[in-house]
Amino acid sequence: MNSLRELIKRYFHILVFLSLLIIAFVIVYHHNNYQHFVLSSTMQKITGPVQNFTNQFYKHFHYSKENAELIKQNIALLKEKESMFISSGDSSHTVFSGEGKKKRRMYDVSSAQVVFNTINKTYNYIIIDKGKKDGVMPDMAVLSPNGVAGVVSDVSNNFSTVISLLNPNFRVSAKIVPINQIGAVVWLDYDPTIAQVIDIPQHLMVSIGDSVVTSGYSDVFPKDLLIGTVIEKYDNPNNTFLTIKIRLATDFRNLHNVYLISNLYKPELDSLKSKFKNE
């Protein structure tokens, strides 16, 4: 207590001065428009950057939460697509569709983030932040939120390499809707927004705006996943097939989140295929 008294005595004049100064500032602030404006402007310059940083931090945190929730919703929607199931006569490990039909899950879905992506090379690749410890395996399909993006090629413990659709080594069986003709989608250009559908006979009626989706004739991609939309088609004088250009559904310049599709029966299918002769 004595120490407090001594401290007040020692700094009494300074405390009185500071108190009067604060009172003076308050009076000037409330009763003089010019000083009010100057003080408000000064405080705004000081607190503005802090407030802006706080707002940006909040927006980033809020966006991250919204994005995570959106990914969860997209996974749930993908899992319930009809093409993720096969019909089943077995009473075990089956679920019932809305029409009362028995079906068995054939594909499962998970998510990952892109940590590396090229779009301007001849052979483009993507690296994602999931690997062996996350259950990722080679030959898993990779989708963007809008369509087909690639297929997993190599896996380490924590990361995986994806052969991008923007790679001449990537080819996916596809069909053109509504004619349902089967062909293949390949990337032959340096444009990351355009690919081609090959092996479509010239006599078929393909229209601008037709959708190109996965055919399902693969143990990697389920059927009816969007690949792109027809933007150009013409007869090829060198053969009997159409030249068809499509605009890709996936925006490879803005690829951040992807979805991994795993075929739950792939080992069984691979075992059967290994017995094919002259493949």
> Please, which residues bridge with residue 246 across strands?
195, 230
3-state helix, strand, coil in the chain (%, to 5): 35, 30, 35
pLDDT at residue 121 tops 50: yes
Quick one: pLDDT at residue 41? 52
Note the Cα 53 to chain centre separation in Å: 27
What pLDDT digit, counting tens, does each position of 30-89 carry? 555 555 555 545 554 554 555 555 555 555 555 677 788 888 888 999 999 999 998 765
What pLDDT digit, counting tens, does each position of 217-276 carry? 988 999 999 999 999 998 888 888 999 999 999 999 999 999 999 999 988 888 888 887
What pLDDT digit, counting tens, does each position of 89-108 carry? 554 445 544 555 678 899 99
Quick one: pLDDT at residue 69? 84
Residue 105 falls in which region: left (phi positive, over 0), alpha (psi -120 to 50) or beta: beta
Short-list 148, 167, 166, 156, CA closest to 129: 156
Q: Tell me if 96 sits within 8 A of 102, measured CB to CB.
A: yes
Structure tokens at 47: 């607190």
Quick one: pLDDT at residue 18? 72
Preceding amide of 178 cis, omega within 30: yes
Quick one: pLDDT at residue 3? 66
Quick one: pLDDT at residue 70? 86
The SS3 assignment for 10 reads helix
Quick one: pLDDT at residue 154? 95
